[in-house]
Amino acid sequence: MSVATQQFTLRQANQAFLAQPRKMLIDGKWVAAASGKTFAVFDPGTGREIAQVAAADKADIDLAVAAARRAFTNKAWAGMKACDRERLLNRLADLVEANADELAELESLDNGKSVNLARYVDVVAAVDCLRYMAGWPTKIEGSTIPVSVPYMPDAKFFAYTMREPVGVVGQIIPWNFPLLMAAWKLAPALATGCTVVLKPAEQTPLSALRLGELVLEAGYPAGVVNICPGFGETAGAALAAHPDVDKVAFTGSTEVGKLIVQAALGNLKKVSLELGGKSPAIVLPDADMDIAIPGAAMAIFFNQGQVCCAGSRLYVHKSIFDKVVDGVAGVAKGFTVGHGLSPSTQMGPLVSEEQALRVASYIEDGLKSGVEAVTGGRRLDQPGYFVEPTVLVKVKPEMKVVKEEIFGPVVVAMPFDDLDEVVTQANNTIYGLGASIWTRDLGKMHRLAPALKAGTVWVNCHSVIDAALPFGGFKQSGWGRELGREAIDLYMERKSVCAMV
């Protein structure tokens, strides 16, 4: 592992963006918090403050929800022709693309991830998600249904279903892919005609606020998109509990997901949840090592391991265990670790001091209970929130490092003997978000894929996500599926119309 030291200068547009305290977007205008409060945003690569951002609280959420309600009921959005909604979604995609370099830099600075990753994964995927969802408004259909009503023998009916947007939607997102998560949330909701109040994570509000500027530039009607940065316990909780919000869509930890469900009880708003994971990567003895070793490494180390579906439990057949573990450790040792804006950086810092402490304490806890670090195992002794990419072995199934989501660059590797055993171990978790199988044996692949309790099973790849492919969790990894046509369903009601003719 080497450490990047290069210096960097921010683009002028981003310097200007960060120079002013950033306001929140309510009803088409940038406004300060009703309380006047702001909070600090930090550069994870140095720990230095980079911006002040308006801190939304209940009063601001009330205003934003009222604006979203007006924009929903005045039909400025839901009543707009489907082809015009498509055009506006495409316009937003074009604007994000036109500002891709600037957005990537802002994202890297705010989150810590490498600027190349931000540019060629986060921004590219956000544009793609907006474009994919832009295709839907003109394709949302109901169906005609042959209604028999056997207890009314002489009556005839014409019955059909139609789709309607669910209404005002509260959306709460995490910090690991801030812009992309905003796109995953906004794009399908807007495609259906819903209006939105979005709360980005307190650690990473900047790209969502820049996206808000692009929403205005694209010409969306006032109140359709409202963006309220703030803390989870205040702004987030007020949004999830709000009696005039029809649906809450949440991405974040399973722990907070349960609070969202409780908060939603008051008005029984619809809830969709994308939560945590502890996803297995399973390497069979016949796997192509040139694919499986770097693949298993990137399954965990991509985005510093801060990926909900990260392959954080690595199960390797015992005949190739040492080879694969040494190979994955070798990939980890080869990373250039450094500030996200340094072009040579392959692995950046974690998002926050809190997250670095949390990840380091998981590693420490493991090492104390007899776990061995093949590589890594320490927080780096330098400014910023850097934790070494870490491979742990000699773990036991009941250990915290095996059971709990660490959400950092830490993988636990375990040997297995046969397929039934690895299925039992892989499914021995409260989570069920992703799983990967590394093999050239089609028969084994087809035995494993249906046996694994996960929303997505990848074969010879991991964390491959596409706007057209539904994504979400079994068990405590969530409710509902984002992306694909399922994402449209999340934001729509289905109405049955039954006419006696």
Binding footprint of ligand NAP on the chain (CB under 6 A):
172-176, 199, 201-203, 231-233, 236-237, 240, 251-253, 256, 259-260, 274-277, 308, 405, 407, 433, 473, 478
DSSP of 431-448, one letter per residue? --SEEEEE-S-HHHHHHH
- 54 vs 95 by CB, closer to ligand NAP: 54
The half-sphere exposure of 491 on its side-chain side, counting CA atoms within 13 A, is 32
Residue 305 Cβ vs ligand NAP, minimum distance, rounded to whole Å: 11
461 given a catalytic annotation: no
CA distance 467 to 130: 9
- 183 vs 433 by CB, closer to ligand NAP: 433
Alpha helices in 172-205 (DSSP H): 178-192
Of the residues 86, 105, 202, 274, which is catalytic?
274
Of the residues 105, 308, 388, 482, which is catalytic?
308
Residue 371 Cβ vs ligand NAP, minimum distance, rounded to whole Å: 22
- 100 vs 260 by CB, closer to ligand NAP: 260
- 407 vs 458 by CB, closer to ligand NAP: 407
- 345 vs 355 by CB, closer to ligand NAP: 355
Strand segments, DSSP code E, in 191-338 are 195-199, 225-227, 247-251, 270-274, 279-283, 311-317, 336-337
67 membership: H or E segment, kind and range: helix 58-73
Residue 388 Cβ vs ligand NAP, minimum distance, rounded to whole Å: 20
CA distance 393 to 25: 48
Q: Are strands 410-416 and 144-145 parallel, antiparallel or unpaired?
A: unpaired
**b/e for 312-336, b at 16 or more Cβ within 10 A?**
bbbbbbeebbeebbebbbebbeebe
Residue whose structure tokens are 């042959």: 146
CA distances from 346 to 108, 122, 339 (A): 12, 15, 9
Residue 389 Cβ vs ligand NAP, minimum distance, rounded to whole Å: 18
Burial class (CB in 10 A: 0-12, 13-18, 19+), 417: exposed
User: Do residues 473 and 432 make contact, with C-beta atoms less than 8 angstroms apart?
Assistant: yes
What secondary structure letter does DSSP report for 200? -
User: Do residues 487 and 135 make contact, with C-beta atoms less than 8 angstroms apart?
Assistant: no
CA distance 422 to 482: 28
CA distances from 161 to 34, 199, 215, 225 (A): 43, 33, 32, 28
**b/e for 34-66, b at 16 or more Cβ within 10 A?**
beebbbebbbbbbeeebbebbbbbbebbebbbb
Residue 356 Cβ vs ligand NAP, minimum distance, rounded to whole Å: 13
CA distances from 416 to 405, 426, 449 (A): 21, 10, 17
Residue 138 Cβ vs ligand NAP, minimum distance, rounded to whole Å: 27
- 172 vs 320 by CB, closer to ligand NAP: 172
Residue 185 Cβ vs ligand NAP, minimum distance, rounded to whole Å: 10
User: Do residues 480 and 456 make contact, with C-beta atoms less than 8 angstroms apart?
Assistant: no
Residue 229 Cβ vs ligand NAP, minimum distance, rounded to whole Å: 8
Chain residue at closest Cβ approach to ligand NAP: 232
- 108 vs 234 by CB, closer to ligand NAP: 234
- 108 vs 279 by CB, closer to ligand NAP: 279
Nearest to 118 by CA among 280, 303, 376: 303
105 given a catalytic annotation: no
User: Do residues 239 and 232 make contact, with C-beta atoms less than 8 angstroms apart?
Assistant: no
Q: Would you please indicate which residues are annotated as catalytic (active-site) residues?
A: 274, 308
